[in-house]
Structure 1
Amino acid sequence: MQVLSTLIVINRNGKLPVYLQIANQLMALVKAGTLRPGYKLLSTRELASSLKVHRRMVVQAYDELLAQGWLESHTGKGTFVAKHLPETRPVNVESNVQTLAGQNRKAGFQFESLPHLARPVLKPNSRLHLDDGFPDPRLAPREDLARAYRSQVLQGNAYLRLGYGDTTGSAWLRQQLSAHLNETRGLKTTASNILITRGVIMGLHLFSTLLLRPGDRVAVDAPGWFGANMNFVQAGASVCEVPVDRFGMDMQALEQICEQKPVRMVYVTSHHHYPTTVALRADRRIALLRLAEQYRFAIFEDDYDYDFHYQSKPLLPLAGADPFQMVVYCGSFTKTISPAFRIGYLVGPEDLISELALLRRIIDRQGDQMLENAVAELLQTGVIQRHLRKSVRVYKQRRDLFCDLLKTELGNYVDFQAPDGGMAVWTQFDANINLPRLAEQALRRDLFLSGAASPFEIKTNAVRLGFASSNPDELEESVAIIKSLL
């Protein structure tokens, strides 16, 4: 009987209460087969004495296991391991150390690895970074956002504010966002035309899941965003690539694809094409809307960084000139504030938004109501608008400096066009330069180069070099590192 007490070790300085330590270890002994069904345990007094703990701790441990069904008690006879438990073959722990050490690494059941999902997640943590085109969080209105978020958490009716909300997103944010989009992008929306998401990628996933069926065809830019294509393949669709030139997607090529077989959806980054940053020219915008009406395909317009345009005024979205309601417009605050703040939005006809909200409910019941209301406050008070005006000035200066550095310091190795907008420069490297190797060498010097091993960079030997998230000194040092490596 004394053997049981030697198998239980009490950590008196641990965070877990003593009675739970006893209960958990007894449960583990039953699971391992060391204590078989029907085994009689020590009395609470005997086990407490052996473990040198208060009897109440053992009583609580036994009560916990009795409640969970691991033990059973018989008046006048004692406490036993429950007889209804199946027999477990004892495990020799010492001889199975390696097996136990790796038991959480591989699932015990079979599942299929999906090759279209096999793409590394960007997590730059180096001191310097020429990323995919991210904003500089040092410029974000963090104090204003923190103040607004705190007020949302602490003020008002706690039951309403901290409870479940609308699956379409904060009503306040949708109202403010509707007014903002109508004013800045020429859209004609109400709050009912907007679904708040966790970002563009969530909006794209929802729309693809709702719209696409196995065998459907989706036309995309080539080169294009691999993240979008993953969603189309996941939905069972076939991806058709449409070439992009200096005026954006080739509409003649798209029309030829439509003539061959029905196209269900066209995905386009019309304002600043990803990855090349070129804008879809006006005549091609008209042609795309005409083709959508003629061939009845939906257009998903991903306007991921509309606010950051440096030459004249930004081109208005396709959605604002769509008389047939064929365009679904999507954007986010990821580039406006910072990628950590996951707020995006889908804009479309009311019936579509209502259906997407039903679908969203089984994926993510709702977003962060506090954050959404805080952003709504910043829109209402003009904080975000002032932040955007300041950021555009700063990013334009950084773009000009970076393009000058590329020309003067790396002119013999790269070719590029200064982008009219966005946060990155599409940079074509000399064919003799191995981009993945260059990225590896740069990382050893604490400089992250975005996506130097992704499909379009390998095929074209070009890469997006983000300038917005680095200040002038950091841009100069980054270019100097690349020059030294070349």
Structure 2
Amino acid sequence: MQPLSSLISPDRSGRSPLYLQIAGQLTALIRNGTLQPGHRLLSSRQLAILLQVNRRTIVQAYDELLAQGWLESHTGSGTYVARSLPEMASEKTTKPGGDNITALSKAGFTFRKLTHLNKAVLKSGSRLHLDDGFPDARLAPVDDLSRAYRSQLIRGNPYVRLGYGDTKGSAWLRQELSAHLNETRGLKTTADNVLITRGVTMGVNLVSSALLNKGDIVAVDSHGWSGAMMNFVHAGASIVQVPVDQYGMDVKALEQICEQKPVRLVYVTSHHHYPTTVALRPDRRIALLQLSAKYGFAIFEDDYDYDFHYMSKPLLPLAGADQHGMVLYCGSFTKTISPAFRVGFLVGPEDIISELALLRRIVDRQGDQMLENAIAELMQTGVIQRHLRKSVRIYRQRRDHFTELLKSELSNYLQFEVPDGGMAVWAKFNADIDLPHLASKASQKDLYCSSGFSQRKEFTNTVRLGFASSNLNELEESVSIIRNLL
């Protein structure tokens, strides 16, 4: 036991009590086979002297392990490693090659690596950013939201406020959202038509899990949002790309696909197609709804930035004209407030919403009810609506300034159309420009920009340049960096 004492090294500056550290280290020695069942431990007095700690500390450590069943005590004989434990071979911590193997770095069991999930996770970091089209979090009504959140924490019956809630989400927020969507987007919903989610990604995941079986065909507008594609592939579906032109999804091409294959679901970003920002023309919207009724496929309408349209009134969603219950309409507050606030909504017929709520229980029992109620309060008091009006004015100004900068500073290097709405410009750089290299060099200047959409031939050297999250000075500096690099 004398050499064994050198394997126990409590940290007197640590946050954990000494007796728990000693108990934990003794447990580890038993687990790895250094201490076998039936081993007699030093007396509390002897071990206290060796470790230079108070004897009471060792007594507490032994008592802890006795209570947990790791040790057993025999009056007049001493304390032993419990004989009921199985014998364990002493484990080596290194391979012959010398590489460390720990349970924290490598799983001891096999698992599948899903290649369709291999996509870099975008994180905020650079001082400057021409991103994928994100909002400016500096504009968010954080003070109003924090006050509303605090009031939710301290007001009313705590058992109800802080307990389990409806898996469909806050009843208050669903009521407010239903009224807001009916007023602004021509829908005809009630709260029972609304499911609160953590964002559009959760909405896509729930619908994929509920509607898709292995081998089902999902038609998407080319080249769609990768977050949706990963969910469809994960559900076992086969993806069919539908061409997109200046008027949105080519619905005639979709009809030809439907004539040949049984399409289960169509995913569409109708208001501002991702990534090109073009809107689905009214005649194609009508045709898409007619095809849905004819061929029986569901439509997932991802309306990720409906509120941000600058040229005229935005086109109403497909969901507002749906007469056959074929459309599932999804949006979120990610673009309205900030990506950090994970609150979205999925709208559809009552029966499918109820089913999706049941499914949601096994994914994420419920959302942040405090946050949902706080947002409901801001909608009821008009804070969100005023914030949207202010944001639209600011983002329109930034769009105009940014597109002028692109024309005056970068017209020799790229082509683009001024978007009617949204938060990004879809630009095509000249063929001789290496976009990944440009993005890498920009990163060294503390500017983030995408390395481009290289997955499809028609999107070669194309990129989304987000303008909404940067103020006018930041946009000027960003464009100046790109110009100098080019």
| Structure 1 length-normalised TM | 0.97
- Partner residue in 2 for 1:180: 180
92 and 203 in structure 1: CA distance in 2 versus 1, 3 angstrom threshold: closer
Counterparts of 1:457 and 1:391, CA distance in 2: 35
Change (3 A) 1:178 1:87: same
The residue aligned with 2:201 is 201
Partner of 1:46: 46
Please say if 1:234 is aligned against 2:226.
no
Report SS of the residue matched to 1:455: coil
Deviation of residue 364 (structure 1)? 0.4
Q: Does 1:90 align with 2:90?
A: yes
Match of 1:65 in 2: 65
Q: 1:149 Cα shift?
A: 0.8
Query: Take 2:226 and 2:32, find their aligned partners in 1: how far apart are those partners?
Result: 46
Between 5-14 and 152-161, the greater mean CA deviation after superposition = 5-14
TM-score by length of structure 2 reads: 0.97
Q: Which range is displaced more, 51-60 or 459-468?
A: 51-60
Structure-1 separation of matches of 2:378 and 2:438: 42
Counterpart code for 1:305? D
Q: Are the structure 2 counterparts of residues 58 and 137 from structure 1 closer, same or farther at C-alpha, using a change threshold of 3 Å? A: same
Aligned to 2:427: 427
Aligned match of 1:10: 10
Task: Give the match's secondary structure for 1:116.
Answer: helix
State the partner residue of 2:341: 341
Q: Deviations over 1:164-215 (max 9, x none)?
A: 1111001111111111111111111111100000000000000011000011
The aligned length equals 486
- Paired residues of 2:438 and 2:451 also in contact (CA < 8 A): no
Q: Kindly indicate whether residue 304 of structure 2 is the aligned counterpart of residue 301 of structure 1.
A: no
Gap change, CA 1:454 and 1:344, over 3 Å in 2: farther
After superposition, the Cα gap between the structure-2 partners of 1:397 and 1:329, relative to the gap in structure 1 and judged at 3 Å, is same
Structure 2: how far apart are the matches of 1:4 and 1:452? 59
Q: Are the counterparts in 2 of residues 132 and 451 from structure 1 also a CA contact under 8 Å?
A: no
CA distance in 2, matches of 1:185, 1:330: 12
Conserved 8 A contact 1:199-1:342: yes
| Residues 165, 366 of structure 2: 8 Å contact kept | yes
Q: SS at the partner of 1:83?
A: coil
Q: Deviations over 1:223-274 (max 9, x none)?
A: 2111111111111111010000000000110000000011000000000000
- Displacement, 1:2? 3.3
Opposite residue 30 of structure 1, the aligned amino acid is I
Cα distance in 2 for partners of 1:307, 1:389 equals 9
- Local SS of the residue matching 1:264: strand
Which whole-Å CA distance do the structure 2 matches of 1:157 and 1:53 have between them? 49
* Superposed displacement of residue 109, structure 1: 1.1
SS at match of 2:241: strand
> Residues 286-310 of structure 1: CA distance to partner in whole angstroms, max 9, x if unpaired?
0000000000000000000000000
2:159 maps to a residue whose letter is: Y
1:466 aligns with: 466
Please tell me whether the aligned partners of residues 298 and 328 of structure 1 are also in contact (alpha carbons under 8 angstroms).
Answer: yes
1:405-416 alignment, distance < 5 Å? 405-416=405-416
Corresponding residue for residue 260 of structure 1 = 260
Aligned-partner residue type, residue 19 of structure 1: Y
Deviation digits for residues 3-27 of structure 1 (CA, Å, limit 9, x no counterpart): 3433322222210101101101111
Q: Following the alignment from structure 1 to structure 2, what is the Cα–Cα distance between the partners of residues 5 and 334?
A: 55
SS in 2 for 1:267: strand
In structure 2, distance between residues paired with 1:226 and 1:358 = 26
- Flag structure 2 segments of 5+ consecutive residues without an equivalent: none
TM-aligned CA distance change 1:142 to 1:37, over 3 Å: same
Pairwise CA RMSD of aligned residues? Answer: 1.7
- 1:236 to 1:94, Cα distance in 2 relative to 1, 3 A: closer
Corresponding position of 1:482: 482
Pairs within 5 Å for 1:248-397: 248-397=248-397
Q: Deviations over 1:61-96 (max 9, x none)?
A: 112212222112223322111122232333456998
- For residue 354 of structure 1, report the CA deviation from its aligned partner: 0.6
Q: Aligned with 2:278: secondary structure?
A: coil
Distance change in 2, residues 1:183/1:98 (3 Å): farther
Find the aligned partners of 1:456 and 1:173 in 2 and give their Cα distance. Answer: 40
Describe the SS at the equivalent of 1:309.
coil
C-alpha distance in structure 2 between counterparts of 1:464 and 1:96, whole Å? 50
Could you tell me which amino acid in structure 2 is paired with residue 15 of structure 1? R
Distance change in 2, residues 1:346/1:92 (3 Å): closer
Q: Determine the structure 2 residue equivalent to 1:109.
A: 109
Give the Cα–Cα distance (whole angstroms) in 2 for the partners of residues 470 and 457 of structure 1. Answer: 30
- Change in Cα spacing, 1:40 to 1:458, as seen in structure 2 (3 Å) is farther
* Cα distance change on mapping 1:439 and 1:168 into 2, 3 Å: same
Give 1:379 shift.
Answer: 0.3
CA–CA distance in structure 1, aligned partners of residues 444 and 185 of structure 2: 43
Q: Distance in 2 between matches of 1:423 and 1:317?
A: 19
Q: Matches of 2:97 and 2:126 in 1, distance apart?
A: 37
Do 1:124 and 1:448's aligned partners in 2 also have CA atoms closer than 8 Å?
no
The residue identity in structure 2 corresponding to 1:107 is A
Distance (whole Å) between structure 2 residues aligned to residue 137 and residue 97 of structure 1: 50
- Judged with a 3 Å threshold, the aligned counterparts in structure 2 of structure 1 residues 94 and 107 are, in CA distance, closer, same or farther, namely closer
1:456 offset after TM fit, Å? Answer: 4.9
Structure 1 residues 115, 92: CA separation in 2 closer, same or farther (over 3 Å shift)? closer
Rounded Cα–Cα distance in structure 2 between residues aligned with 1:373 and 1:459: 42
Question: Distance in 2 between the 1:95 and 1:182 partners?
Answer: 65
Separation (CA, whole Å) in 1 of partners of 2:97 and 2:229:
43
Q: Report the more deviating stretch, 84-93 or 118-127.
A: 84-93
SS of 2:267's equivalent?
Answer: strand
CA contact (8 A) 2:454 2:462 kept: no
SS in 1 for 2:263: coil
Whole-Å separation in 1 of the counterparts to 2:292 and 2:135: 33
Listed as ranges, the matches of 1:127-138 within 5 Å are 127-138=127-138
| Separation (CA, whole Å) in 1 of partners of 2:169 and 2:318 | 24
Q: Deviations over 1:36-80 (max 9, x none)?
A: 111001122332233232332222211221222211222332211
Rounded Cα–Cα distance in structure 2 between residues aligned with 1:214 and 1:220:
17
Give me the identity figure in percent. 70
Distance 2:116 2:385 in 1: 38
2:74 paired residue number: 74
Q: Distance in 1 between matches of 2:69 and 2:96?
A: 28
Q: Which moves more between the two structures, 87-96 or 380-389?
A: 87-96
Q: Classify the secondary structure of the residue corresponding to 1:151.
A: helix
2:221/2:241 contact within 8 Å kept = yes
